[in-house]
Structure 1
Amino acid sequence: MPSTTRGKRSGSRDVVKGFFVLLILFHAVGAQAVCRSGIPLNPVTDLCWQCIFPVSIAGIEIIPGPVENNVPDLSGMPVCACPAPPPLFIRIGIPVSFWEPARYVETVKDPYCFPSLGFGLTAAGGFLGGGSQEQGNASVDTSTFAQAHYFIYPVWSIMELLTDFACIEHSGFDVAYLTEVDPLWQNDILAFILEPESILFGNPIAQTACIADSVSTNAGFSMSPLFWCIGSGGSAYPLTGHVNDDNELMANSTIAARMVYKLAREGLVCDTALNLCACVPTPIWVKHNWRMHVAKPVRDFMCHPFGRTGLIWGALKNPPLVGDNFVWQLFRRRSCCAF
């Protein structure tokens, strides 16, 4: 009797093992089919290096940059002072300002697809999958949904450049956030937990104000007082992967910007341009201290503020047969008191 029971148990284990093997094979085949392998992100060839400019030291612009991307900063004074541990208490330095490539965001139609790493983990599918779709009967409503991945990517440290410069982030590469495991990213109603103020901006008057932000974004830089707008991308709310736009490139650009705002709201992103001595938490983001460019599937040769229309920069940036999976290199304004 015991041997019969033992035989049944081992047979059940074999069935379970076989089921899991088939499941893993199914996911592996599915991942290869929807998430194409490619070349990992290369900081030398996939980065718009001119986007780090302008560089200002002690209020003097040492290296000019694209005029349309200049924004106000704190490096206008010749000297600065920051708190220091005893016995110094105060440390005197020189203000420095530049654009730091320290983060990037992936926006993907295929869940757990990592175009910056050149592979995908699994093919989850179902409600986690993204893409454009049409909704409604009487009137057609088009929308786009994508998952987002936020990476810590301190280019200077990775390339071991400027290692002695105090204003450079000294850390390593890391996968900081995946929206596939975040239920708030999948559901607009659940996201209301993070953004209760969004109820104030879900009306025609508030959305009409986004026209001014769109004009300013396309002409120069974002209007940060209109924090509920993302220029030509529309509303910053809800802080989810759903965007009312059927243009895959522009919609994914908006989703990448929303990812930055969402993480800032959660206290996971701070602003390096609001204080010369420290990184400041910004539950309400300061948009004009960020800019980005698409790095994959086709690298852009210029940066743009959040919400700039794809009619200016989006030509040939989303070729067919790449799966609508994008990598967006982020540049944050860095204002620092260098000692």
Structure 2
Amino acid sequence: MRNVCLFGVLTAILILSLEGHADARGFGTPLNPVTDICWNCVFPIKIAGMTVIPGDVPDAPDAALLPVCVCPAPPPLFFRPGIPISFWEPARFIETVKDPFYFPSLGVQLPNPSQGFLGGTHSEISAHNQIDTSTFAQAHYFIFPVWGVLELLIDFVCVEHSGFDLAYITEVDPLWNNDMLAFAINPEALLFANPVSQMSCIADSVAANAGLPLSALYWCMGSWGSAYPLTGHVNDDTYIQANAAIAARLIYKLSRELLVCDTGVNLCGCIPTPIWIKHNYRIQIAKPVRDFTCHPIGRSSMVWGSLKNPPFSAGGNSSDNFLWVIFRKRVCCAA
């Protein structure tokens, strides 16, 4: 309830401060949990190690293999037996935007402190007779517990019972906008800034396109490039794929800073993972064009990116603002 109230206050402030600024930039409609989410991506559902409803997307390994599970409980019980259950939960979404302080899912635009400041880019830089394409975008992380929003399965212990909330925006995070500042809190990036480490990402790319990414290669994002630096700058000549990589980087960044936890690791609770487990996430583009399925982190946009960024006319500019639904692996011990 507190999150809902905070969100209501935030929305009111945005609307009052943005009167005349909430122009459509390709899209500005809220995420519709019924029509915009790929519900096939919830599957497979497993109970006591048996697949009850199969899915058409490769499933990640999980802890719901045995017929019975036991979790800690408050005294005087101390232990709580249950049945292991696993599925994929659409509980978050991320906006990647070219226009700073623009919230497509809210349909509002906050004033930018300076014209052109913090704005997204997609440019080609020529150096040593080679062309390097760089993409930069801001990102917004939303808590969006779909089951709670739709008031479905509200008595089910294995779904999140929180409210809708805007949890993180990168415009106010200097580490997102500067690679050197990000290196200061992620010095391990130096270990992977060499050809040998980056060549190993080929294996991750093959695995992601064939099924699931290799989570042991946590510094890679398959065909999307390197997971480092943990900023909004991505070297990719495919704009849609670059934005998918930016959304995935935000997931890793928040995991690295212990601001999110992984629901696919332990049956008894959500576990912080400063080194992310990539195969516990699926990503689906919902706007500007909804995809019919979801994909693992690192799968090439040649498979799924066609016609996903049409040239909507908004003041003569294309949209270039995206919304990504994040499916996370959910395992739990249901009493």
Instruction: Verify same fold: TM over 0.5.
Output: yes
Query: Residue 37 of structure 1 contacts residue 119 of structure 1 at CA under 8 Å; is this kept in 2?
Result: no
Whole-angstrom distance in 2 between the partners of 1:168 and 1:220: 26
Whole-angstrom distance in 1 between the partners of 2:213 and 2:322: 22
Query: Residue 21 of structure 2 contacts residue 109 of structure 2 at CA under 8 Å; is this kept in 1?
Result: no
- Given the alignment of the two structures, is residue 51 of structure 1 paired with residue 41 of structure 2, yes or no? yes
**Structure 2 matches for 1:131-142, cutoff 5 A?**
131-138=121-128, 139-142=130-133
Query: Residue 21 of structure 2 contacts residue 108 of structure 2 at CA under 8 Å; is this kept in 1?
Result: no
Whole-angstrom distance in 2 between the partners of 1:153 and 1:77: 30
- Given the alignment of the two structures, is residue 171 of structure 1 paired with residue 162 of structure 2, yes or no? yes
What do residues 133-177 of structure 1 show as CA deviations (whole Å, max 9, x unaligned)? 122443321100000000000000011100000010000000000
CA displacement at 1:37 relative to structure 2:
5.1
What do residues 288-332 of structure 1 show as CA deviations (whole Å, max 9, x unaligned)? 000010000000011100111001011111101342000000000
Range 114-123 or range 45-54, more displaced: 114-123
Whole-angstrom distance in 1 between the partners of 2:111 and 2:276: 33
Partner of 2:326: 330
- Given the alignment of the two structures, is residue 130 of structure 1 paired with residue 120 of structure 2, yes or no? yes
Query: Residue 223 of structure 2 contacts residue 299 of structure 2 at CA under 8 Å; is this kept in 1?
Result: yes
Whole-angstrom distance in 2 between the partners of 1:200 and 1:237: 10
Residue 32 of structure 1: SS of its match in structure 2?
A: coil
Query: Residue 36 of structure 1 contacts residue 119 of structure 1 at CA under 8 Å; is this kept in 2?
Result: no
Whole-angstrom distance in 2 between the partners of 1:151 and 1:176: 5
Whole-angstrom distance in 1 between the partners of 2:142 and 2:184: 24
CA displacement at 1:31 relative to structure 2:
6.2
Whole-angstrom distance in 2 between the partners of 1:86 and 1:39: 48
Whole-angstrom distance in 2 between the partners of 1:285 and 1:61: 26
- Given the alignment of the two structures, is residue 254 of structure 1 paired with residue 245 of structure 2, yes or no? yes
Partner of 1:241: 232
Counterpart residue type for residue 91 of structure 2? A
Counterpart residue type for residue 141 of structure 1? D
Runs ≥4 residues deviating over 3 A: 27-33
Partner of 1:232: 223
- 1:28 and 1:189, CA in 2 relative to 1: closer, same or farther beyond 3 A? farther
Partner of 1:199: 190
- Given the alignment of the two structures, is residue 157 of structure 1 paired with residue 148 of structure 2, yes or no? yes
What do residues 237-258 of structure 1 show as CA deviations (whole Å, max 9, x unaligned)? 0000000012110000000000
Whole-angstrom distance in 2 between the partners of 1:290 and 1:114: 23
Query: Residue 53 of structure 1 contacts residue 64 of structure 1 at CA under 8 Å; is this kept in 2?
Result: yes
Whole-angstrom distance in 2 between the partners of 1:59 and 1:78: 6
Partner of 2:266: 275
Counterpart residue type for residue 330 of structure 1? I
Whole-angstrom distance in 2 between the partners of 1:38 and 1:266: 30
Residue 77 of structure 1: SS of its match in structure 2?
A: coil
Counterpart residue type for residue 335 of structure 1? V
Structure 1 or 2: more helix by fraction = 1
Query: Residue 26 of structure 2 contacts residue 288 of structure 2 at CA under 8 Å; is this kept in 1?
Result: no
CA displacement at 1:69 relative to structure 2:
2.2
Range 313-322 or range 173-182, more displaced: 313-322
Query: Residue 152 of structure 1 contacts residue 175 of structure 1 at CA under 8 Å; is this kept in 2?
Result: yes
Residue 274 of structure 2: SS of its match in structure 1?
A: coil
Counterpart residue type for residue 276 of structure 2? W
Query: Residue 100 of structure 2 contacts residue 112 of structure 2 at CA under 8 Å; is this kept in 1?
Result: yes
Counterpart residue type for residue 93 of structure 1? G
CA displacement at 1:29 relative to structure 2:
6.2
Partner of 1:3: none
Partner of 1:100: 89
**Pick aligned residue for 1:40 from 30, 33, 38:** 30
Partner of 2:79: 90
Whole-angstrom distance in 2 between the partners of 1:122 and 1:36: 18
Tell me the percent identity. Answer: 63
**Pick aligned residue for 2:175 from 171, 184, 187:** 184
Counterpart residue type for residue 100 of structure 1? E
Query: Residue 27 of structure 2 contacts residue 288 of structure 2 at CA under 8 Å; is this kept in 1?
Result: no
Whole-angstrom distance in 2 between the partners of 1:135 and 1:183: 23
Alignment length (residue pairs): 313
Whole-angstrom distance in 2 between the partners of 1:70 and 1:245: 28
Query: Residue 28 of structure 1 contacts residue 122 of structure 1 at CA under 8 Å; is this kept in 2?
Result: no
Whole-angstrom distance in 2 between the partners of 1:157 and 1:29: 33
Whole-angstrom distance in 1 between the partners of 2:190 and 2:305: 32
Residue 50 of structure 1: SS of its match in structure 2?
A: helix
Report the TM-score when normalising by structure 1: 0.89
- Given the alignment of the two structures, is residue 116 of structure 1 paired with residue 105 of structure 2, yes or no? yes
- 1:62 and 1:37, CA in 2 relative to 1: closer, same or farther beyond 3 A? closer
Higher radius of gyration, 1 or 2: 1
